[in-house]
């Protein structure tokens, strides 16, 4: 018997895929043209969410354990690149949805009640796997987010809360950063001296700026007092723990110092991939914030300040999530501690050698 050749449509299961747009307006015998667009856009989101989860699960597997194979970093970076490109598509897809007018949407909006995008199990899984802490979530209808999901889906997101997140695994990885404690070189005391030199220079520039009025001058100087306290807390364990208890920091002090060392010496060959990885995490965080913001603006454009289909406060709820639902803000905040290359403490030759790529052919 000859085996039937696999066709394009069979491989992609197109019959099932293209027959999965059940228009509620058609069922209601009042067909609305733009409901097809609304369904396809959101189905496409869920397909992309599935791909993001596929990439994230592979990265989480690579980061588990007490040691991350260095050769895996390149793979991790490439998969983060893919997630970032998918996120850009997610943001840009909103432009297509904006071709629908508010009146077009109102023709079928009531048929969606009480369903809501808040019930996207896959997006909740993405947030949890990234490291979104349940206590930091903006509550929806004053209830825990999983209560709005079906029982099986609720159990799935609750399970993901217990699994090690990317944030937790990254924290452990950063805490293992070499060169944080060096017998032959007290890097951090040298760095503190460079910081003091930088801040002193900035303050002198502020005081010598003749364009500042007295209020602007005093406000600027007060701001630098706050910056000085931030630097002090970076190295003082008790002050750092206090910042953590107040919710100003989430990443451990040791992990923060590891990340900062990577950021400061990013030009060293061995640290280039770790630096790129940290930059990608900032991009992933900010792209989800951009997506939430674009979604928020779309909702405001479509329904103004009306209540959302799922009973949320709509635009107001989305605005709060865009402002607060950030996972890697501690990494982004490291820019506060960056100093000019000219002030960067010079590394000893031995450490410089360890941070480089060295290959000798023959003798």
Distance (Å, whole) CA 149 – CA 139: 14
pLDDT of residue 65: 67
Evaluate whether residue 47 is within a structural domain. Answer: yes
CATH number at residue 308: 1.20.58.480
What is the model's pLDDT at position 119? 86
Q: Say whether 293 sits in a helix, a strand or coil.
A: helix
- pLDDT: which is higher, 1 or 85: 85
| pLDDT for residue 357 | 75
Pair of tokens at residue 335: 């820019």
State yes or no: pLDDT of 308 exceeds 70: no
Query: With helix as H, strand as E and coil as C, how does 9-28 read?
Result: HHHCCHHHHHCCCCCHHHHC
Predicted confidence band at 35 (pLDDT cuts at 50, 70, 90)? very high
Q: Number of folded domains in the chain?
A: 1
152-174: pLDDT as tens digits: 989 998 999 999 999 999 999 99
> How sure is the predictor about 262, in pLDDT bands with cuts at 50, 70 and 90?
very high
Residue 252 has pLDDT above 60, yes or no: yes
Residues 96-116, buried b or exposed e (16+ Cβ, 10 A)?
ebeebeeebbebbbebbeeeb
pLDDT of 310 higher than 50: no
Confirm if 234 and 180 have CB atoms less than 8 A apart. Answer: no
Integer Cα distance of 25 and 27 in angstroms:
5
Tell me, yes or no, whether 180 lies in a domain: yes
The answer to whether residue 361 scores a pLDDT higher than 60 is: no
The answer, yes or no, to whether residue 311 has pLDDT greater than 50, is no
185-198: average pLDDT = 84
Which has more pLDDT, 310 or 303?
303
Q: What is the pLDDT of residues 215-239, one digit of tens each?
A: 898 988 888 888 888 888 888 899 9
Structural domain boundaries enclosing 81:
20-354
* 76 touches 277 (CB < 8 A): yes
Burial of residue 356 (CB within 10 Å: 0-12, 13-18, 19+) is exposed
Has residue 317 been placed in a domain? yes
Q: Which long-range contacts (CB under 8 A, 24 or more apart) does 271-276 make?
A: 271/355, 273/73, 273/74, 273/77, 274/73, 276/77
Structure tokens belonging to residue 125: 């899984």
Q: Are 263 and 338 in contact (CB under 8 A)?
A: yes
pLDDT for position 358: 63
Does residue 62 contact residue 72 with C-beta atoms inside 8 Å? yes
Higher per-residue pLDDT: 293 or 55: 55
The conformational region for residue 29 under phi > 0 = left, psi -120 to 50 = alpha, else beta, is left
Q: What is the pLDDT of residues 117-128, one digit of tens each?
A: 778 899 999 999
**342-353 mean pLDDT:** 86
H or E segment and range at residue 322: helix 315-324
34, part of any domain = yes
Most confident of 35-44, 174-183, 201-210: 35-44
Token representation of residue 185: 């070189």
DSSP 360: -
- Rounded Cα–Cα distance for residues 30 and 111 (Å): 11
- Check whether 2 has a pLDDT greater than 70: no
Q: Report which of residues 116 and 75 the model is more confident about.
A: 75
DSSP codes, 151-167:
HHHHHHHHHHHHSPPHH
248: which 2 tokens?
């100003």
Query: Which residue is it, tokens 């597997």?
Result: 61
Residue 138 has pLDDT above 80, yes or no: no
What is the rounded CA–CA span in Å between residue 130 and residue 169? Answer: 10
């Amino acid at each position: 018997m000859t085996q039937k050749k696999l066709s394009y449509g069979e491989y992609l299961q197109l019959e099932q895929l293209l027959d999965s747009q059940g228009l509620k307006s058609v069922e209601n015998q009042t067909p609305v043209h733009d409901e097809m667009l609304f369904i396809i856009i959101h189905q496409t989101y869920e397909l992309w969410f599935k791909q993001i989860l596929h990439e994230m699960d592979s990265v989480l597997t690579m980061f588990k354990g007490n040691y991350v194979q260095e050769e895996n970093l390149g793979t991790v970076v490439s998969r983060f690149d893919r997630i970032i490109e998918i996120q850009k598509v997610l943001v840009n897809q909103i432009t297509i949805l904006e071709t629908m007018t508010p009146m077009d949407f109102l023709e079928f909006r009531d048929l969606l009640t009480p369903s809501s995008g808040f019930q996207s199990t896959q997006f909740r899984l993405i947030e949890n796997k990234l490291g979104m802490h349940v206590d930091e979530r903006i509550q929806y209808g004053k209830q825990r987010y999983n209560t709005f999901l079906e029982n099986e889906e609720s159990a799935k997101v609750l399970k993901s809360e217990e699994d090690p997140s990317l944030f937790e695994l990254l924290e452990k990885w950063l805490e293992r950063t070499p060169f944080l404690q060096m017998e032959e070189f007290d890097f951090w005391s040298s760095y503190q001296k460079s910081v003091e030199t930088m801040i002193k220079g900035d303050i002198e520039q502020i005081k010598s700026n003749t364009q500042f009025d007295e209020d602007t001058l005093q406000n600027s100087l007060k701001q630098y007092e706050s910056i000085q306290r931030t630097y002090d807390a970076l190295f003082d364990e008790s002050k750092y723990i206090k910042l953590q208890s107040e919710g100003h920091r989430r990443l451990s002090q040791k992990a923060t110092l590891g990340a900062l060392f990577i950021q400061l010496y990013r030009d060293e060959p061995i640290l280039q991939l770790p630096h790129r990885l940290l930059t990608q995490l900032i991009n992933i965080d900010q792209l989800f914030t951009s997506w939430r913001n674009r979604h928020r603006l779309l909702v405001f454009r479509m329904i103004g300040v009306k209540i959302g289909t799922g009973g949320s406060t709509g635009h107001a709820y989305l605005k709060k999530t865009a402002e607060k639902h950030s996972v890697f803000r501690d990494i982004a905040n490291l820019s506060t501690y960056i100093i000019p290359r000219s002030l960067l403490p010079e590394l000893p030759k031995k450490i410089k050698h360890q941070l480089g790529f060295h290959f000798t052919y023959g003798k």
